[in-house]
Amino acid sequence: MTTALEQDAVVRYEPRGAARQLFKSRDSELVIAGPAGTGKSLAALFRLHLTALHNPNIRCLIVRKTAVSLTSTTLVTFDKKVAADALARGIVKWFGGSAREAAGYRYSNGSVIVVGGMDKPEKIMSAEYDLVFADEATELTIADWEAIATRLRNGMLSWQQQIAACNPGHPTHWIKQRCDQGDATMLISRHRDNPAYVNADGTYTAKGADYFKKLAKLTGVRKLRLKDGIWAAAEGQIYDNWDDAIHLVDPRPIPASWTRWWTVDFGFTNPFVLQCWAEDDDGRLWLYREIYRTKRLVEDHARDILRTVRRCTVCCKSKADGHDCHTCDACVLEWTEPRPRAVICDHDAEDRATLERHLGIGTQAAHKSVSDGIQAVQARLKVAGDGKPRLFIVRGALVERDPLLEEASLPMCATDEIGGYVWAVKPGNAGGLKEEPVKKDDHAMDALRYMVAAKDLGGRPRVRWLS
């Protein structure tokens, strides 16, 4: 598709398969779902862009669960692959937002595409729209989706539409149920729909060949969802009562009165994991910060950890190149949050001693028994009488993404691991007893289990204190 538009803007795009269906449909709720790398988000973004170019004075919305994730992913695609020519010609201009108006793209014909996250809904939910696109929609709750639907009443188009793009998730996810019940239309996207990866004759492009090699490395439920496009639950999933809509929560201020705990699972080739936990007044545990990195020494991790929890309050104001307050003896540093009551570590003696030395904090040996630790986590994930579980993970807790893990399509945080954390069945066990988890992609799950075990399984901790 090559389209000449207002002021000679040129849009080149080749919609195939589900993407072509997306452009033709006028159904009020559309879900374009399929494996990773099929061009789902790109198709939806082109749908909004072309509609805004052709229809003056319409209002559209691009939304994700969090504003940060939208800026770092979806909007990069929009700027570089969808609206690049229109932005360069001034037909579309970026507006960074104001006290009264949300950020977005302003078109010379009066149309607007507003952008935002459901974690900060005040501005985006106060307006009305003709067309809405929710990227990575499995992150949303049904309440988010229904709230967005109430804003589709701008009336400048003869049809109003709400579009979602996503990779498959759990088969009981509300998106799949909504489509199965006929409340939304699901378009199935496949890799052949993406001309960047697959030629018209079905052969792979050079870029596609490299990408499919990465997908081939996936295993378990991640392979089923991201490579094969199946709405699948992991066979033998250990934490089968985990529910993103319940246990994954938006960031919130954490009171200084809440007790803090840190857990550590050591690794170098395998990921090093630090999890920062807060315990609220009702004893619930909140994972609010996570470091999950490979190929980094323990002492370097320690320095990175301290940078996240300390700031300079009395600076020497040195003008020297490369001056670093965190390593300067003349600067005064203070903690920005309560110190952890305990740092609960894997038992590696050398790494534990190194971490203590560089953090200046004593550590506690983790409760390593797996079976009772898993049972304790399962108990915390159950919804209690007050309608809430006893364990949450804060969305966006990951401090930084590991490019090596991302390149290898491996888990990069606790929420990536939990769906694929499965039981191993030992050969010869009567009835195939589930005695232990598969020892793969379980580093964050170990750290999580250390935290729950320390709180719920009791026993005398083995603590080393620094003099």
Distance, CA of 149 to CA of 158 (rounded, Å): 16
Closest Cα partner for 7 from 93, 79, 77? 93
CA 427 distance to own-chain centroid = 36
CATH 3.30.420 fits 244-296+338-464, yes or no: yes
The set of residues, in sequence order, having a beta carbon less than 8 Å from that of 190 and lying 6+ positions away, is 17, 18, 34, 35, 38, 229
Q: Is 131 helix (H, G, I), strand (E, B) or coil?
A: strand
Distance, CA of 126 to CA of 97 (rounded, Å): 14
CA 143 distance to own-chain centroid = 19
Q: Which amino acid is at 429?
A: N
First to last CA, the chain: 70
Rounded (10°) CA dihedral 74, 76, 81, 87: 120
Q: 298 with 354: CB under 8 angstroms?
A: yes
Superfamily of domain 2-216: P-loop containing nucleotide triphosphate hydrolases (3.40.50.300)
Q: Which amino acid is at 304?
A: D
Q: What is the DSSP-derived secondary structure letter of residue 203?
A: P
Q: Do domains 2-216 and 244-296+338-464 have the same CATH topology?
A: no
pLDDT in tens, the chain (467 residues): 555 454 556 678 889 999 999 999 999 999 999 999 999 999 999 999 999 999 999 999 999 998 888 998 999 999 999 999 999 999 999 999 998 889 999 999 999 999 999 988 888 999 999 999 999 999 998 999 999 999 999 999 999 999 999 999 888 899 998 999 899 999 999 999 999 999 999 999 999 999 999 999 888 888 999 999 999 888 888 998 888 878 988 889 999 999 999 999 999 999 999 999 999 999 999 999 999 999 999 999 999 999 999 999 999 999 888 898 988 989 999 999 999 999 999 999 999 999 999 999 999 999 989 999 999 999 999 999 998 999 999 988 999 989 999 888 789 999 989 988 999 876 555 555 567 899 989 999 999 999 999 999 975 445 454 54
Distance, CA of 113 to CA of 131 (rounded, Å): 9
Q: 264 with 346: CB under 8 angstroms?
A: yes
Q: 119 with 65: CB under 8 angstroms?
A: yes
What are the residue ranges spanned by the domains of the chain? 2-216, 244-296+338-464
Rounded (10°) CA dihedral 256, 259, 265, 266: 60
